[in-house]
Protein backbone atom coordinates (compact mmCIF):
# COMPACT_ATOMS: atom_id res chain seq x y z
CA UNK A 1 0.00 0.00 0.00
CA UNK A 2 1.26 3.50 -0.76
CA UNK A 3 3.08 5.61 1.80
CA UNK A 4 1.07 8.77 1.42
CA UNK A 5 3.85 10.95 0.10
CA UNK A 6 1.43 12.17 -2.57
CA UNK A 7 -1.05 13.84 -0.22
CA UNK A 8 -1.28 17.47 -1.19
CA UNK A 9 -1.97 20.03 -3.81
CA UNK A 10 -4.59 18.82 -6.27
CA UNK A 11 -6.47 15.57 -5.76
CA UNK A 12 -9.16 14.07 -7.96
CA UNK A 13 -11.81 11.76 -6.52
CA UNK A 14 -13.68 9.89 -9.23
CA UNK A 15 -15.85 6.82 -9.68
CA UNK A 16 -14.06 3.66 -10.80
CA UNK A 17 -17.20 1.65 -11.62
CA UNK A 18 -20.76 2.56 -12.70
CA UNK A 19 -21.31 5.43 -10.26
CA UNK A 20 -22.59 5.50 -6.67
CA UNK A 21 -19.29 4.18 -5.35
CA UNK A 22 -19.44 6.49 -2.34
CA UNK A 23 -17.63 9.49 -3.84
CA UNK A 24 -19.70 11.94 -1.78
CA UNK A 25 -18.57 10.46 1.51
CA UNK A 26 -14.93 10.28 0.39
CA UNK A 27 -15.02 13.91 -0.76
CA UNK A 28 -16.61 14.94 2.53
CA UNK A 29 -13.79 13.19 4.42
CA UNK A 30 -11.00 14.65 2.26
CA UNK A 31 -12.60 18.12 2.26
CA UNK A 32 -11.35 18.49 5.83
CA UNK A 33 -7.80 18.86 4.53
CA UNK A 34 -8.69 20.86 1.36
CA UNK A 35 -9.30 24.54 0.72
CA UNK A 36 -11.40 24.32 -2.45
CA UNK A 37 -13.73 21.53 -3.59
CA UNK A 38 -14.87 21.67 -7.22
CA UNK A 39 -17.23 19.63 -9.37
CA UNK A 40 -16.01 19.39 -12.97
CA UNK A 41 -18.60 17.44 -15.00
CA UNK A 42 -22.13 16.08 -14.95
CA UNK A 43 -25.07 17.80 -13.39
CA UNK A 44 -28.01 16.94 -11.19
CA UNK A 45 -27.87 13.33 -12.40
CA UNK A 46 -25.36 12.87 -9.60
CA UNK A 47 -26.60 11.89 -6.15
CA UNK A 48 -23.82 12.12 -3.57
CA UNK A 49 -24.76 11.10 -0.05
CA UNK A 50 -23.02 12.57 2.97
CA UNK A 51 -23.82 11.68 6.59
CA UNK A 52 -22.96 14.16 9.30
CA UNK A 53 -24.10 13.18 12.75
CA UNK A 54 -27.66 11.97 12.39
CA UNK A 55 -28.26 14.05 9.29
CA UNK A 56 -28.16 12.83 5.71
CA UNK A 57 -27.52 15.21 2.82
CA UNK A 58 -27.97 14.10 -0.79
CA UNK A 59 -26.17 16.53 -3.07
CA UNK A 60 -26.89 16.62 -6.77
CA UNK A 61 -25.43 19.82 -8.06
CA UNK A 62 -23.42 21.38 -5.24
CA UNK A 63 -20.02 19.87 -4.28
CA UNK A 64 -19.95 17.47 -1.34
CA UNK A 65 -17.54 19.81 0.48
CA UNK A 66 -20.27 22.23 1.58
CA UNK A 67 -20.72 20.58 4.95
CA UNK A 68 -17.34 21.89 6.06
CA UNK A 69 -17.80 25.55 7.02
CA UNK A 70 -15.28 27.94 5.41
CA UNK A 71 -14.42 25.69 2.45
CA UNK A 72 -14.87 27.19 -0.98
CA UNK A 73 -17.08 25.08 -3.31
CA UNK A 74 -17.00 25.59 -7.06
CA UNK A 75 -18.82 24.31 -10.13
CA UNK A 76 -16.48 24.17 -13.11
CA UNK A 77 -17.00 24.79 -16.81
CA UNK A 78 -17.52 21.07 -17.52
CA UNK A 79 -20.68 20.98 -15.43
CA UNK A 80 -24.18 21.38 -16.84
CA UNK A 81 -25.76 23.70 -14.32
CA UNK A 82 -29.47 23.45 -13.63
CA UNK A 83 -30.02 26.79 -11.87
CA UNK A 84 -33.41 25.85 -10.45
CA UNK A 85 -32.10 22.63 -8.89
CA UNK A 86 -28.92 24.44 -7.83
CA UNK A 87 -30.76 27.14 -5.86
CA UNK A 88 -33.23 24.61 -4.46
CA UNK A 89 -30.29 22.68 -3.05
CA UNK A 90 -28.49 25.85 -1.96
CA UNK A 91 -31.56 27.12 -0.07
CA UNK A 92 -32.27 23.73 1.46
CA UNK A 93 -28.70 23.49 2.76
CA UNK A 94 -28.99 26.98 4.27
CA UNK A 95 -32.35 26.13 5.84
CA UNK A 96 -30.62 23.14 7.48
CA UNK A 97 -28.03 25.44 9.01
CA UNK A 98 -25.24 25.23 6.40
CA UNK A 99 -24.08 28.77 5.68
CA UNK A 100 -23.03 29.14 2.06
CA UNK A 101 -22.67 32.88 1.88
CA UNK A 102 -19.54 33.81 -0.11
CA UNK A 103 -18.27 30.26 -0.44
CA UNK A 104 -20.00 28.91 -3.55
CA UNK A 105 -18.90 29.90 -7.04
CA UNK A 106 -20.08 28.85 -10.50
CA UNK A 107 -17.98 29.00 -13.64
CA UNK A 108 -18.74 31.76 -16.13
CA UNK A 109 -18.20 29.06 -18.75
CA UNK A 110 -20.58 26.47 -17.28
CA UNK A 111 -23.46 25.48 -19.54
CA UNK A 112 -27.02 26.05 -18.38
CA UNK A 113 -29.36 23.09 -18.16
CA UNK A 114 -32.90 24.38 -18.56
CA UNK A 115 -36.36 22.83 -17.97
CA UNK A 116 -36.72 22.00 -21.66
CA UNK A 117 -33.61 19.80 -21.51
CA UNK A 118 -35.22 17.79 -18.74
CA UNK A 119 -38.47 17.50 -20.68
CA UNK A 120 -36.63 16.40 -23.84
CA UNK A 121 -34.70 13.78 -21.87
CA UNK A 122 -37.85 12.38 -20.26
CA UNK A 123 -39.95 12.39 -23.44
CA UNK A 124 -37.18 10.79 -25.48
CA UNK A 125 -36.61 8.07 -22.91
CA UNK A 126 -40.34 7.50 -22.71
CA UNK A 127 -40.71 7.04 -26.46
CA UNK A 128 -37.66 5.06 -27.46
CA UNK A 129 -37.56 1.28 -27.42
CA UNK A 130 -33.79 1.32 -26.71
CA UNK A 131 -33.86 3.01 -23.33
CA UNK A 132 -30.62 4.09 -21.69
CA UNK A 133 -32.39 4.39 -18.36
CA UNK A 134 -31.26 7.99 -17.80
CA UNK A 135 -31.94 9.88 -14.59
CA UNK A 136 -34.30 12.17 -16.53
CA UNK A 137 -32.36 15.24 -15.41
CA UNK A 138 -31.78 16.60 -18.94
CA UNK A 139 -28.10 15.67 -19.12
CA UNK A 140 -27.97 14.31 -22.70
CA UNK A 141 -29.93 17.18 -24.28
CA UNK A 142 -27.87 19.83 -22.42
CA UNK A 143 -24.52 18.35 -23.50
CA UNK A 144 -25.85 17.92 -27.05
CA UNK A 145 -26.48 21.65 -27.18
CA UNK A 146 -23.04 22.36 -25.77
CA UNK A 147 -21.25 20.21 -28.34
CA UNK A 148 -23.57 21.50 -31.07
CA UNK A 149 -22.45 25.02 -30.08
CA UNK A 150 -25.96 26.19 -29.32
CA UNK A 151 -25.74 26.05 -25.53
CA UNK A 152 -26.16 28.99 -23.17
CA UNK A 153 -23.40 29.61 -20.65
CA UNK A 154 -23.59 31.48 -17.37
CA UNK A 155 -21.59 34.34 -18.93
CA UNK A 156 -24.23 34.66 -21.67
CA UNK A 157 -26.68 35.90 -19.04
CA UNK A 158 -24.64 39.05 -18.38
CA UNK A 159 -26.40 41.18 -20.98
CA UNK A 160 -30.09 41.22 -20.11
CA UNK A 161 -31.38 41.56 -23.65
CA UNK A 162 -29.03 38.95 -25.05
CA UNK A 163 -29.96 36.60 -22.24
CA UNK A 164 -33.66 36.89 -23.01
CA UNK A 165 -33.01 36.32 -26.73
CA UNK A 166 -30.82 33.26 -26.16
CA UNK A 167 -33.26 31.72 -23.71
CA UNK A 168 -36.18 32.31 -26.07
CA UNK A 169 -34.25 30.77 -28.98
CA UNK A 170 -33.45 27.75 -26.82
CA UNK A 171 -37.07 27.31 -25.83
CA UNK A 172 -38.24 27.57 -29.44
CA UNK A 173 -35.64 25.03 -30.55
CA UNK A 174 -36.86 22.68 -27.85
CA UNK A 175 -40.48 23.30 -28.89
CA UNK A 176 -39.66 22.24 -32.47
CA UNK A 177 -37.84 19.12 -31.29
CA UNK A 178 -40.63 18.20 -28.94
CA UNK A 179 -43.20 18.74 -31.71
CA UNK A 180 -41.17 16.38 -33.93
CA UNK A 181 -41.50 13.82 -31.14
CA UNK A 182 -45.29 14.38 -31.18
CA UNK A 183 -45.25 16.43 -27.99
CA UNK A 184 -47.07 19.74 -28.06
CA UNK A 185 -47.73 20.29 -24.36
CA UNK A 186 -44.72 22.20 -23.12
CA UNK A 187 -46.16 22.52 -19.61
CA UNK A 188 -43.81 24.22 -17.20
CA UNK A 189 -41.32 24.84 -19.98
CA UNK A 190 -43.45 27.75 -21.23
CA UNK A 191 -42.31 29.78 -18.24
CA UNK A 192 -38.64 28.87 -18.52
CA UNK A 193 -37.49 32.17 -20.01
CA UNK A 194 -39.07 34.26 -17.27
CA UNK A 195 -38.00 31.78 -14.58
CA UNK A 196 -34.38 31.94 -15.75
CA UNK A 197 -34.50 35.73 -15.99
CA UNK A 198 -35.79 35.86 -12.42
CA UNK A 199 -32.71 34.08 -11.04
CA UNK A 200 -30.24 35.60 -13.50
CA UNK A 201 -28.78 38.19 -11.15
CA UNK A 202 -28.53 35.77 -8.26
CA UNK A 203 -26.63 33.33 -10.45
CA UNK A 204 -24.34 36.02 -11.86
CA UNK A 205 -23.50 37.15 -8.33
CA UNK A 206 -21.82 33.73 -7.85
CA UNK A 207 -20.11 33.62 -11.25
CA UNK A 208 -16.34 33.40 -11.32
CA UNK A 209 -13.45 32.26 -13.51
CA UNK A 210 -13.09 28.85 -11.86
CA UNK A 211 -9.93 27.84 -13.73
CA UNK A 212 -8.20 31.07 -12.74
CA UNK A 213 -9.36 30.79 -9.13
CA UNK A 214 -8.01 27.25 -8.83
CA UNK A 215 -4.77 28.16 -10.60
CA UNK A 216 -4.12 31.03 -8.19
CA UNK A 217 -5.10 28.95 -5.19
CA UNK A 218 -2.59 26.25 -6.18
CA UNK A 219 0.11 28.90 -6.67
CA UNK A 220 -0.50 30.22 -3.17
CA UNK A 221 -0.12 26.73 -1.67
CA UNK A 222 -3.77 25.85 -1.18
CA UNK A 223 -5.15 22.34 -1.56
CA UNK A 224 -7.73 21.51 -4.18
CA UNK A 225 -10.13 18.59 -4.33
CA UNK A 226 -11.81 17.84 -7.65
CA UNK A 227 -15.03 15.85 -7.22
CA UNK A 228 -16.09 13.55 -10.04
CA UNK A 229 -19.63 12.43 -10.70
CA UNK A 230 -20.84 9.15 -12.23
CA UNK A 231 -18.08 6.61 -12.93
CA UNK A 232 -15.49 5.37 -15.41
CA UNK A 233 -17.80 2.84 -17.09
CA UNK A 234 -20.33 5.65 -17.68
CA UNK A 235 -17.76 7.86 -19.46
CA UNK A 236 -18.87 9.11 -22.88
CA UNK A 237 -15.69 7.70 -24.52
CA UNK A 238 -14.50 4.94 -22.23
CA UNK A 239 -17.79 3.60 -20.89
CA UNK A 240 -20.26 1.05 -22.24
CA UNK A 241 -21.51 3.35 -25.00
CA UNK A 242 -24.36 4.14 -25.62
CA UNK A 243 -25.30 3.10 -22.06
CA UNK A 244 -23.29 5.96 -20.60
CA UNK A 245 -23.74 9.54 -19.48
CA UNK A 246 -22.82 12.43 -21.78
CA UNK A 247 -19.69 13.74 -20.09
CA UNK A 248 -16.05 12.83 -19.51
CA UNK A 249 -16.16 11.13 -16.13
CA UNK A 250 -12.55 9.93 -16.34
CA UNK A 251 -9.55 11.81 -14.97
CA UNK A 252 -8.87 13.82 -18.15
CA UNK A 253 -12.23 15.52 -17.59
CA UNK A 254 -11.06 16.81 -14.23
CA UNK A 255 -8.55 19.10 -15.94
CA UNK A 256 -10.67 20.20 -18.89
CA UNK A 257 -13.82 20.51 -16.80
CA UNK A 258 -12.27 22.68 -14.11
CA UNK A 259 -10.02 24.77 -16.35
CA UNK A 260 -6.57 23.75 -15.11
CA UNK A 261 -3.74 21.92 -16.84
CA UNK A 262 -3.39 18.16 -16.27
CA UNK A 263 0.07 18.63 -14.75
CA UNK A 264 -1.51 20.49 -11.83
CA UNK A 265 -3.11 17.23 -10.70
CA UNK A 266 -0.90 14.91 -8.72
CA UNK A 267 -3.21 12.45 -6.97
CA UNK A 268 -6.08 10.56 -8.61
CA UNK A 269 -8.22 8.39 -6.38
CA UNK A 270 -10.58 5.88 -7.95
CA UNK A 271 -13.47 5.05 -5.64
CA UNK A 272 -14.73 1.47 -5.98
CA UNK A 273 -17.18 -0.51 -3.91
CA UNK A 274 -15.90 -3.81 -2.51
CA UNK A 275 -18.48 -5.29 -4.91
CA UNK A 276 -20.24 -3.49 -7.80
CA UNK A 277 -23.58 -1.94 -8.68
CA UNK A 278 -25.23 -0.46 -11.71
CA UNK A 279 -28.42 1.58 -12.10
CA UNK A 280 -29.88 2.15 -15.56
CA UNK A 281 -29.50 -0.12 -18.55
CA UNK A 282 -26.43 -1.72 -20.12
CA UNK A 283 -24.21 -4.71 -19.42
CA UNK A 284 -23.07 -5.74 -15.95
CA UNK A 285 -20.89 -8.84 -16.49
CA UNK A 286 -20.57 -9.80 -12.81
CA UNK A 287 -24.30 -9.41 -12.04
CA UNK A 288 -25.48 -11.72 -9.26
CA UNK A 289 -28.27 -14.27 -9.63
CA UNK A 290 -31.64 -12.95 -8.30
CA UNK A 291 -31.55 -14.19 -4.68
CA UNK A 292 -27.99 -13.01 -4.07
CA UNK A 293 -28.64 -9.75 -5.95
CA UNK A 294 -31.53 -9.07 -3.57
CA UNK A 295 -29.41 -9.97 -0.57
CA UNK A 296 -26.55 -7.61 -1.44
CA UNK A 297 -29.01 -4.85 -2.39
CA UNK A 298 -30.58 -5.14 1.07
CA UNK A 299 -27.24 -5.35 2.90
CA UNK A 300 -25.84 -2.37 0.98
CA UNK A 301 -29.10 -0.32 0.83
CA UNK A 302 -28.55 -0.15 -2.91
CA UNK A 303 -31.25 2.23 -4.11
CA UNK A 304 -30.45 5.27 -6.28
CA UNK A 305 -29.81 8.52 -4.41
CA UNK A 306 -31.26 10.53 -7.32
CA UNK A 307 -34.06 8.34 -8.63
CA UNK A 308 -34.68 5.76 -5.88
CA UNK A 309 -34.32 2.97 -8.47
CA UNK A 310 -32.97 -0.38 -7.21
CA UNK A 311 -29.34 -0.83 -8.20
CA UNK A 312 -28.29 -4.13 -9.76
CA UNK A 313 -25.55 -5.77 -7.71
CA UNK A 314 -22.56 -7.89 -8.69
CA UNK A 315 -19.23 -9.23 -7.49
CA UNK A 316 -16.16 -6.99 -7.74
CA UNK A 317 -15.14 -6.76 -11.38
CA UNK A 318 -11.34 -6.82 -11.51
CA UNK A 319 -11.31 -6.46 -15.29
CA UNK A 320 -13.19 -3.17 -15.07
CA UNK A 321 -11.17 -1.98 -12.06
CA UNK A 322 -7.91 -2.65 -13.91
CA UNK A 323 -9.28 -0.70 -16.89
CA UNK A 324 -10.28 2.17 -14.57
CA UNK A 325 -6.80 2.22 -13.08
CA UNK A 326 -5.34 2.49 -16.58
CA UNK A 327 -7.63 5.05 -18.27
CA UNK A 328 -7.62 7.31 -15.22
CA UNK A 329 -3.98 6.87 -14.28
CA UNK A 330 -5.10 6.14 -10.73
CA UNK A 331 -2.55 6.78 -8.01
CA UNK A 332 -4.73 4.98 -5.48
CA UNK A 333 -7.98 3.16 -4.86
CA UNK A 334 -10.59 3.90 -2.24
CA UNK A 335 -12.50 0.71 -1.49
CA UNK A 336 -15.89 1.54 0.05
CA UNK A 337 -18.63 -0.54 1.64
CA UNK A 338 -16.33 -3.32 2.79
CA UNK A 339 -18.70 -3.73 5.77
CA UNK A 340 -21.53 -4.72 3.41
CA UNK A 341 -19.73 -8.03 2.82
CA UNK A 342 -19.24 -8.71 6.55
CA UNK A 343 -21.77 -11.54 6.81
CA UNK A 344 -21.02 -13.42 3.59
CA UNK A 345 -19.32 -16.82 3.95
CA UNK A 346 -17.66 -16.54 0.52
CA UNK A 347 -16.81 -13.63 -1.75
CA UNK A 348 -15.94 -13.77 -5.44
CA UNK A 349 -13.86 -11.48 -7.63
CA UNK A 350 -13.69 -11.60 -11.43
CA UNK A 351 -10.21 -11.37 -12.91
CA UNK A 352 -11.07 -12.23 -16.55
CA UNK A 353 -14.05 -12.80 -18.83
CA UNK A 354 -14.67 -15.97 -20.82
CA UNK A 355 -16.19 -15.00 -24.18
CA UNK A 356 -16.91 -16.88 -27.43
CA UNK A 357 -13.71 -15.21 -28.78
CA UNK A 358 -11.59 -16.52 -25.93
CA UNK A 359 -10.59 -15.32 -22.46
CA UNK A 360 -10.34 -11.54 -22.01
CA UNK A 361 -8.29 -9.86 -19.34
CA UNK A 362 -8.86 -6.34 -20.70
CA UNK A 363 -12.22 -4.54 -20.68
CA UNK A 364 -13.65 -4.83 -24.21
CA UNK A 365 -15.06 -1.94 -26.26
CA UNK A 366 -18.17 -3.74 -27.44
CA UNK A 367 -21.27 -4.40 -25.39
CA UNK A 368 -21.89 -7.70 -27.19
CA UNK A 369 -18.68 -9.13 -25.68
CA UNK A 370 -19.68 -7.77 -22.29
CA UNK A 371 -23.20 -9.16 -22.57
CA UNK A 372 -21.83 -12.61 -23.44
CA UNK A 373 -18.94 -12.46 -21.01
CA UNK A 374 -18.86 -15.14 -18.38
CA UNK A 375 -16.72 -13.88 -15.50
CA UNK A 376 -13.82 -16.04 -14.41
CA UNK A 377 -14.20 -15.91 -10.64
CA UNK A 378 -11.78 -16.43 -7.83
CA UNK A 379 -13.69 -17.26 -4.68
CA UNK A 380 -12.25 -16.33 -1.31
CA UNK A 381 -13.47 -17.10 2.19
CA UNK A 382 -15.42 -14.28 3.87
CA UNK A 383 -14.53 -12.91 7.33
CA UNK A 384 -17.99 -13.23 8.89
CA UNK A 385 -17.39 -10.55 11.49
CA UNK A 386 -18.02 -6.82 11.73
CA UNK A 387 -15.55 -4.37 10.22
CA UNK A 388 -17.60 -1.27 11.18
CA UNK A 389 -15.33 -0.31 14.08
CA UNK A 390 -12.01 -0.87 12.27
CA UNK A 391 -9.98 2.35 12.04
CA UNK A 392 -6.68 0.94 10.82
CA UNK A 393 -5.81 -1.92 8.51
CA UNK A 394 -4.58 -4.06 11.39
CA UNK A 395 -8.07 -3.90 12.95
CA UNK A 396 -9.53 -5.75 9.95
CA UNK A 397 -10.06 -9.53 10.04
CA UNK A 398 -7.34 -11.52 8.28
CA UNK A 399 -9.66 -12.65 5.46
CA UNK A 400 -10.75 -9.06 4.83
CA UNK A 401 -7.10 -8.03 4.52
CA UNK A 402 -6.44 -10.94 2.16
CA UNK A 403 -9.40 -9.82 0.05
CA UNK A 404 -8.10 -6.24 -0.15
CA UNK A 405 -4.59 -7.46 -0.96
CA UNK A 406 -6.04 -9.42 -3.87
CA UNK A 407 -7.85 -6.29 -5.17
CA UNK A 408 -4.53 -4.43 -5.10
CA UNK A 409 -2.82 -7.25 -7.02
CA UNK A 410 -5.57 -7.47 -9.63
CA UNK A 411 -5.54 -3.72 -10.26
CA UNK A 412 -1.81 -3.12 -9.64
CA UNK A 413 -2.96 -0.11 -7.64
CA UNK A 414 -2.44 0.63 -3.95
CA UNK A 415 -5.45 1.07 -1.69
CA UNK A 416 -5.31 4.47 0.02
CA UNK A 417 -8.57 4.37 1.98
CA UNK A 418 -11.17 1.79 3.03
CA UNK A 419 -14.80 2.55 3.88
CA UNK A 420 -16.45 0.50 6.61
CA UNK A 421 -19.73 2.40 7.10
CA UNK A 422 -21.69 5.49 6.11
CA UNK A 423 -20.32 7.78 8.82
CA UNK A 424 -17.41 10.17 8.43
CA UNK A 425 -15.37 8.34 11.03
CA UNK A 426 -15.97 4.93 9.42
CA UNK A 427 -12.95 5.16 7.18
CA UNK A 428 -9.47 3.70 7.29
CA UNK A 429 -6.64 5.87 5.97
CA UNK A 430 -4.03 3.47 4.68
CA UNK A 431 -1.72 5.99 3.10
P1 LIG B 1 -21.80 8.56 -4.85
O2 LIG B 1 -22.79 8.88 -5.91
O3 LIG B 1 -20.57 7.92 -5.39
O4 LIG B 1 -21.49 9.73 -3.95
O5 LIG B 1 -22.49 7.45 -3.92
P6 LIG B 1 -24.02 7.45 -3.40
O7 LIG B 1 -24.15 8.46 -2.32
O8 LIG B 1 -24.96 7.53 -4.54
O9 LIG B 1 -24.13 5.96 -2.85
C10 LIG B 1 -23.26 5.47 -1.92
C11 LIG B 1 -24.05 5.02 -0.67
O12 LIG B 1 -23.20 4.24 0.13
C13 LIG B 1 -24.51 6.17 0.20
O14 LIG B 1 -25.75 5.83 0.77
C15 LIG B 1 -23.44 6.27 1.27
O16 LIG B 1 -23.94 6.77 2.50
C17 LIG B 1 -23.06 4.83 1.42
N18 LIG B 1 -21.66 4.58 1.79
C19 LIG B 1 -20.54 5.23 1.41
N20 LIG B 1 -19.43 4.63 1.90
C21 LIG B 1 -19.88 3.58 2.62
C22 LIG B 1 -19.23 2.53 3.36
O23 LIG B 1 -17.99 2.44 3.44
N24 LIG B 1 -20.04 1.60 3.95
C25 LIG B 1 -21.41 1.64 3.86
N26 LIG B 1 -22.13 0.70 4.47
N27 LIG B 1 -22.04 2.61 3.17
C28 LIG B 1 -21.28 3.54 2.56
P1 LIG C 1 -23.33 9.54 -9.17
O2 LIG C 1 -22.52 10.81 -9.35
C3 LIG C 1 -25.04 6.02 -11.08
C4 LIG C 1 -26.54 6.57 -15.17
C5 LIG C 1 -28.04 6.48 -15.41
C6 LIG C 1 -28.04 5.95 -16.83
C7 LIG C 1 -26.85 6.67 -17.47
C8 LIG C 1 -27.22 7.94 -18.23
O9 LIG C 1 -24.32 9.59 -8.07
O10 LIG C 1 -22.42 8.37 -9.12
P11 LIG C 1 -27.92 10.40 -17.52
O12 LIG C 1 -29.06 10.89 -16.66
O13 LIG C 1 -26.58 10.80 -17.00
O14 LIG C 1 -28.10 10.74 -18.97
O15 LIG C 1 -28.02 8.79 -17.42
O16 LIG C 1 -25.99 7.01 -16.41
N17 LIG C 1 -26.13 7.55 -14.14
C18 LIG C 1 -25.69 7.22 -12.92
N19 LIG C 1 -25.56 6.01 -12.33
N20 LIG C 1 -24.63 7.15 -10.45
C21 LIG C 1 -24.72 8.36 -11.05
O22 LIG C 1 -24.19 9.48 -10.52
C23 LIG C 1 -25.31 8.44 -12.33
N24 LIG C 1 -25.57 9.45 -13.17
C25 LIG C 1 -26.05 8.90 -14.29
O26 LIG C 1 -28.65 5.60 -14.50
O27 LIG C 1 -27.73 4.58 -16.82
MG1 LIG D 1 -24.78 8.51 -6.40
Domain edge (last residue) among 222, 239, 269: 269
Q: What is the pLDDT of residues 212-231, one digit of tens each?
A: 999 999 999 999 999 999 99
Lining ligand 1 with CB less than 6 A are: 15, 19-25, 47-49, 51, 305, 336-337, 339-340, 419-422
Q: How far is the CA of 25 from the centre of ligand 1 (A)?
A: 6
Residue 203: how many other CB atoms lie within 10 Å? 18
The C-alpha angle 140, 144, 145, rounded to 5 degrees, equals 125
Q: What is the pLDDT of residues 121-154, one digit of tens each?
A: 999 999 988 999 999 999 999 999 999 999 999 9
Nearest Cα residue to atom 2 of ligand 1:
20
DSSP string, 104-148: EEEETTPEE--HHHHHHHHHHHHH-SS-----SSSHHHHHHHHHT
pTM value surpassing 0.95 = yes
Distance between first and last Cα of the chain: 7
Number of domains making up the chain: 2
User: Which ligand sits nearest to residue 42's alpha carbon?
Assistant: 2
Neighbours of ion ligand 3 (CB under 5 A): 20, 47, 305
Query: With contact defined as beta carbons under 8 Å apart, do 18 and 244 qualify?
Result: no
Mutate to test the pocket of ligand 1, among 14, 20, 25, 420 (most ligand atoms within 8 A of CB): 25
pLDDT above 70 coverage of the chain, percent:
98
Q: In sequence order, which residues have a C-beta less than 8 Å from that of residue 385 and are 6 or more positions away? A: 342, 397
Query: With contact defined as beta carbons under 8 Å apart, do 254 and 12 qualify?
Result: yes
Classify 322 in phi/psi space as left (phi over 0), alpha (psi -120 to 50) or beta: alpha
**Co-location of 24 and 100 in the same domain:** yes
Domain edge (last residue) among 269, 296, 315: 269
Mutate to test the pocket of ligand 2, among 135, 137, 229, 367 (most ligand atoms within 8 A of CB): 135
Distance CA 406, CA 349 (A): 9
Task: Give the pLDDT confidence score for residue 236 in this predicted structure.
Answer: 98
Smallest CA-to-CA distance from 212 within 12, 65, 76, 33 is with 76
**Co-location of 265 and 391 in the same domain:** no
We report the CATH number of the domain holding residue 17 as: 3.40.440.10
Instruction: With respect to residue 15, please indicate whether it lies within any of the assigned structural domains.
Output: yes
Beta bridge partners of 37: 73, 225
**Co-location of 52 and 30 in the same domain:** yes
Q: What is the pLDDT of residues 297-317, one digit of tens each?
A: 999 999 998 889 999 999 999
Q: How far is the CA of 138 from the centre of ligand 3 (A)?
A: 16
Lining ligand 2 with CB less than 6 A are: 15, 18-20, 45-48, 132-135, 137, 139-140, 229-231, 234, 245-246, 279-280, 305
Atom number of ligand 1 nearest to Cα 21: 3
DSSP string, 346-415: EEEEEEEEEETTEEE-S--S-HHHHHH-EEEEEEEE---S--TT--SGGGS-HHHHHHHHHHHHHHT--E
**Co-location of 304 and 259 in the same domain:** no
> In the structure, what pLDDT confidence band is assigned to residue 108 with cuts at 50, 70 and 90?
very high
Smallest CA-to-CA distance from 174 within 203, 199, 155, 151 is with 151
DSSP run (H or E) holding 89: helix 83-95
Beta bridge partners of 310: 303
Instruction: With respect to residue 193, please indicate whether it lies within any of the assigned structural domains.
Output: no
Range of the domain at 367: 270-429
Domain edge (last residue) among 269, 300, 333: 269
**Could you give the residue numbers annotated as active site?**
20, 48
DSSP class of residue 26? H
Distances (CA, A) of 300 to 120, 152, 190, 195: 33, 40, 41, 39
Task: Give the pLDDT confidence score for residue 3 in this predicted structure.
Answer: 39
Task: Give the pLDDT confidence score for residue 2 in this predicted structure.
Answer: 46
Amino acid sequence: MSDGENRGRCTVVLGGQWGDEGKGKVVDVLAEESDIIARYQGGANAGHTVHVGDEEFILHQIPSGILHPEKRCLLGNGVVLDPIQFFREYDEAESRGVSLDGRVGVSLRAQLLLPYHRLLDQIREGKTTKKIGTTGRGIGPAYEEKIGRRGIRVVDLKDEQEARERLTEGRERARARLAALGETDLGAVEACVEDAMAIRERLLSLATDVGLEIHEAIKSGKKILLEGAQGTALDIDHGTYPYVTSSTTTAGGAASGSGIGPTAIHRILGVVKAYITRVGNGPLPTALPPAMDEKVRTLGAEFGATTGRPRRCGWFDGVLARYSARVNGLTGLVVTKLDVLDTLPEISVANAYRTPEGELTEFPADNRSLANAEPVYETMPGWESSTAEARKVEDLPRNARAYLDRLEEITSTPIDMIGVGTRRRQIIHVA
